[in-house]
Each structure stands twice: as structure tokens, then as C-alpha cells.
Amino acid sequence: MGIYKYDVYRSPNIGLFVKSNNSILSVPFGFAETKAKKLRDYLDVDKMFYASVSGTRLIGPLTVMNNNGIILPSTASEEELQLFKQESKLNVDRLNSKFTAVGNLISANDNGALVSSLIKAETHQQIRDILGVQVDTLSIAGFVQTGAMVVATNLGAAVHPNASEEEVRMISEILKVDVEPATINGGIPYLSSGIIANSNSVVVGSLTTGPEFIMLSRAFKT
């Protein structure tokens, strides 16, 4: 278990391009094999595979992943859907929603899912079916982009630094982990842009400062 600094495409916004759970890592087509292997080693996963979502490299904001399933946007192709199913061996489906950046709207671990108010209530059952968890609607610090505000594993979670005490309490109750306010990459509050996390390890963007390291280590129990 550790916390590591890394860049993807010379960018500290590593969470835009890569997604992981406790056993798999998905990286964009064309991503350097040596860098992908290093990420795989850092995150201590069994399998790494190349993918695209909606024809793009933006795997992070366009997917939601826990150890039970993967949510893709409605714009993902049939080929992309089948690739994720084949490589992950998990429940994988396209979300029945007009919003495509599902990763910015949903944050989940294996205990629960926090969902943006933009996602209609009738879609919640589909989210439950894919991820195998309870679903609750929550805005954070005045933002409806819930998935961008919270990064969670089964050991802990980090949240936007302006989250209220009540929001922190609710996140902890829903995801069943301790929650710590934090920033990434030198003060960025939109945490999912700069973090790849699972219960094994955490990888953060290269601009993450020493004090942020301390906050994130506390949040994810590294």
C-alpha cells in the first residue's frame, strides 16, 4: 500500500485518462506500454487493458468503476461495451442517461454510490444493478458533479475541501468509510481529475504537494 506521483501524457490530470479498481486497470489505446506497466505495478492490479470510451482517451470522466461493475455512457459503442465486458469480466452496461460524463456524476466504492441530482431517479435501479450497491443522491459544496468531488475506495475517501460537515457525514454513512477533505495537484479541489485509487494504492498527479500527500494518505489509509 502506498501513494505515488505520476503523469499521463505529460499531464498531472491523470484521472482523466485512466481508471482502476482492485484488480484491473484500463488505459487508453496508444498509451506507452512501459508507463502502463508502471501504473499497473503501482496499483498492484492483476490485469491491465487498453480501451477507448466514445472514441476518446477520456476513460476517467466517461466511466464509473467498482469491483462489481463498470458504467459506460450511452455514447459508448457496442465494440467498446464488449471490450470492457470481455476484459473485466464484470457487470458492464451503458447508462440510460443523456449525460455522458458519468464519471463526473457518480462516485462509488463497493459499499455505495453517490449520484448527481442530474441523473434521474428512474436510472438509479440500473446503477444498482451494475455496481451492486445502494444509490443515494448528493450534491457537494454546491456542485452537482458529485463524481468529480469525491474519490473513494473501500478503505477511505477524499472530498472537495468546501464540503460541509453534514455532507462529509453523509458521504461516510453512504460509502461506509472515513472521509477527509483534500485537494490535488497544488490546490485543485476537483479530486477525480488527479487521482487513480484502489484499495491497494493511490497514484496522484505530479504537482501534488507535500501537505496534500499527507491529507490524501490520511484519507485513503495509505
pLDDT tens-place values along the chain, 222 residues long = 789 999 999 999 999 999 999 999 999 999 999 999 999 999 999 999 999 999 999 999 999 999 999 999 999 999 999 999 999 999 999 999 999 999 999 999 999 999 999 999 999 999 999 999 999 999 999 999 999 999 999 999 999 999 999 999 999 999 999 999 999 999 999 999 999 999 999 999 999 999 999 999 999 998
Exposed (0-12), middle (13-18) or buried (19+): which is 4, by Cβ within 10 Å?
middle
Place of cell 487493458: 49
> How far, rounded to the nearest angstrom, does the alpha carbon of residue 165 sit from its chain's CA centroid?
22
Fold of 3-220: L-arginine/glycine Amidinotransferase; Chain A (3.75.10)
Structure-derived torsion over alpha carbons of residues 184, 133, 56, 201, reported in degrees to the nearest 10: 40
56: Cβ contacts below 8 Å, ≥ 6 apart:
62
Are the C-beta atoms of residues 181 and 168 closer than 8 Å to each other?
yes
